[in-house]
Amino acid sequence: MVMKITGYTYGKKDKGFDELRFVLKALSDDCTRYVLNMLCVRDGKFICTDGRRMHQATAPAKHKVGLYEVLKNTAKLIVLARKEDDLKFPNTDMIIPKEHDHEAVIYGATAGRIQHNVSKRGGALLDEVYLADAAPKEIEATVRWGDVLSPVMIIHELGFAVVMPKRGDQ
C-alpha cells in the first residue's frame, strides 16, 4: 500500500515564508495536547496556538484547508505534511479581542517597549518570550489591550498575535 503525503516546502525566498515562520513561533510542544502541535490552515490563514498565545497570518492561496505537521522549521527551510486525522483545532476566533480600551503604535516594537506601553496604561503583565515572538524584529506594530485580565493583540506586517496575560503562578 502506498500512502500519499500532501505537503508543502517553503524556502527563505518563497512567498509566505516569513509569515509562516512568525506563526510557527506559537506552535505548542506539549505532547499531551497533540492538536496544538500542528499548524492549522483555514479561511486563507496560517494559525498556531499553544493555549497561552496565538499567531495568525495570511496563507498563500496554494494551501489546502487542514492541519499540518511541521517536519522541519529552520531559518532557511520549512517542511509541512498534511494530517488526514479527524482532529479538531480550537476555535481561535473566540480569543481575538473584539474591543479594546487602549491602542498604541510602537515603532521598533521590541518586547520591552510593548510591555512598557501596556503596563503603564493599566494593562496586563505579559510573558517576555511571547512578546519577543509576537514582534520578531524591529518593526512598527499596533498594540491593543484592555484591563489587566484581557489579552493583548499585536498587529504588524507579518500578521498578528494575541498574548494572554500571565497568571498568578507564572
pLDDT tens, position by position, 110-131: 788 888 888 887 777 888 889 8
pLDDT tier, 159 (very low <50, low <70, confident <90, very high otherwise): very high
Confidence of residue 33 (pLDDT cuts 50, 70, 90): confident
Contacts of 28 (CB under 8 A, 6+ apart): 36, 37, 48, 49, 50, 51
Q: What is the pLDDT of residue 5?
A: 56
Put residue 13 in one of left, alpha, beta given phi > 0 → left and psi -120 to 50 → alpha.
alpha
The model carries a pTM of: 0.90
CB 128 within 8 A of CB 16: no
- CA dist 25 and 28 (Å) reads 9
pLDDT of residue 162: 96
Could you tell me where the DSSP H helices lie in 4-110? 17-24
For residue 4, pLDDT over 70 is answered with no
Which pLDDT score is estimated for 168?
Answer: 61
Question: CA 21, 23, 29, 32 torsion: positive or negative?
Answer: negative
What are the boundaries of each domain within the chain?
7-93, 96-163
